[in-house]
Amino acid sequence: MTLPRTWRRSLAGPAAGLLAVLVGAALSTGASAATLFTDDFEDGNATGWTGSAGTWSVVADGSNALRQSASTLDARSRAGSASWTNYTVTARVKPLAFNGSNRFVALLARTQSDTSYYYVTLRSTNVFELKKLVNGSSTTLATAAATVTAGTWYTLSLTVSGSTLRGSVAGGPTLTATDSQFTAGGIGVATYYATASFDDISVADTGSPSPSPSPTGTTIVVAKDGTGNYTTVQAAVNGVPAGNTKRVTISIKPGTYRELVTVPATKPYISFVGTTGNATDVVITYDNAAGTPKPDGSGTYGTTGSSSVVIDANDFTAKNLTFANAFDEAAHSYDAEQAVAVTTRGDRLIFDNVRFLGNQDTLQPSSPSTTTIGRAYYRNCYVEGDVDFIFGRGTAVFDHCEIRSLNRGSTTNNGYVTAASTSNTTAYGFLFTQCSLTAASGVAAQSVHLGRPWHPGGDVNAIAQVLYRESAMGAHILPSPWDDMSGFSWRDARFSEYANTGPGSTVTADRPQLTAAQAANYTAQKYLAGSDGWNPIP
């Protein structure tokens, strides 16, 4: 959805690096747990890590990461304390290249030395293993099939609790075993005839990735200053056990968290909540664009790949915080400058008092596939951007939200609010009900479109559905507010309005209006009900 620009803008700059070491704090549920160690390498060094063989350094790989760049036999880097006993170590791991067949990257626990420890491996042969190494001799304790692709980030965890061992890949298999070879020891990362990056490494002294949710749920605290259970949002998400059935609230203290965050489909019932109640106090942001080159040279991120936050889980909620993409358009000349703050592919999602900041393609309500519906409810939210800044195939209701168009410097075309790609088998796409459509300073009158129909890859079955009803429209909205896109006519889409007000709402021949009878079938409840009768509307 590219449009040439005559104006460029950047968001506030990223925050300084996160603290490297966090010493524990109690969970609000009263569970006894502490974070023993975290390192996201944003300080640019590997202080506290001891490398053995290989070539270890901190490099940029999306964010700063620890990299082993020599394709040698058995390269390791270790950290932590020999006195640690029961804990979970979690890390993001990206194999970059395998030098031959049956090679691996690994995460270590209860390390005794460079030749004795427990570990989990991702092998180039698409195998995930739970193993132990004793004086250089390895034993496989459990194994499972897993897709292993060079250039892809994986989140691995390894739990050691008494004689119980558990290893997992986020979104993939979990392995368990019983072994009493080692009772205490530190952590580590390793490669075997492979190169790899390692990031966001954390150690929690609970015997599981995070306190298991009790019947009343669990609260995990994130704080940049080390006063919580984690210093990064992704580490807190990593700490939630896969398959959780109770709500886990990740309570986030004030700060700007410059990180990429993914909530995987295997972790439903997660809530992000800013602690102050003021959405501006907690900002989760990153700055990739569609045209940003990947550090490993494998191409660019693409539109969805640019997302600062991706929510694949069902029943996610967010409240009192900000999601942003801070890509600096003025500093780059990419052909593709789409820069997404949030992509959602889960179902039954709620956003309450949340801000979404960006320029082109700010917010993408989507779904797992064109045949699956993903519903999201945005209440009292703020969304800003310029070109197609609310786009995708999802079903989304914006209720009492401010939708703000930014200034692109054009007197005739300051962009498009929406670019829906609703499947023709999906009845409901985007609804804006009792919203305010506003414009930034300098935006020319009658210069912003309400939307245009996006047909991804020329998909003729993507028949956009968008309704603005009972909303106040500023003077920036064009009197003929719908536009064609990529050779597809807006008149073939399902675009309509109902009972809008304000200087930008004047009805013309190019503004399809619903009747009162038709509007009764296009309420927020109708959009969100689905087959399960979901109704998050207060």
Catalytic amino acids? 361, 388
How far is 470 from 75, CA to CA, in rounded Å? 63
H/E stretch holding 451: strand 449-451
CB 269 within 8 A of CB 315: yes
How far is 326 from 288, CA to CA, in rounded Å? 8
How far is 354 from 279, CA to CA, in rounded Å? 6
How far is 230 from 134, CA to CA, in rounded Å? 32
Rg of the chain (C-alpha set): 24
How far is 152 from 145, CA to CA, in rounded Å? 17
**Exposed / middle / buried, residue 215 (Cβ in 10 Å: 0-12, 13-18, 19+):** exposed
Tokens of 256: 């700007």
Instruction: Provide CB contacts within 8 A for 472, sequence distance 6+.
Output: 435, 436, 437, 500, 501, 502, 505
- CA-wise closest residue to 390 among 444, 468, 333, 458: 468
Tokens of 224: 């940049």
Tokens of 113: 């030395």
How far is 258 from 253, CA to CA, in rounded Å? 14
Tokens of 283: 């900002």
Type of residue at 183: T
**Exposed / middle / buried, residue 239 (Cβ in 10 Å: 0-12, 13-18, 19+):** buried
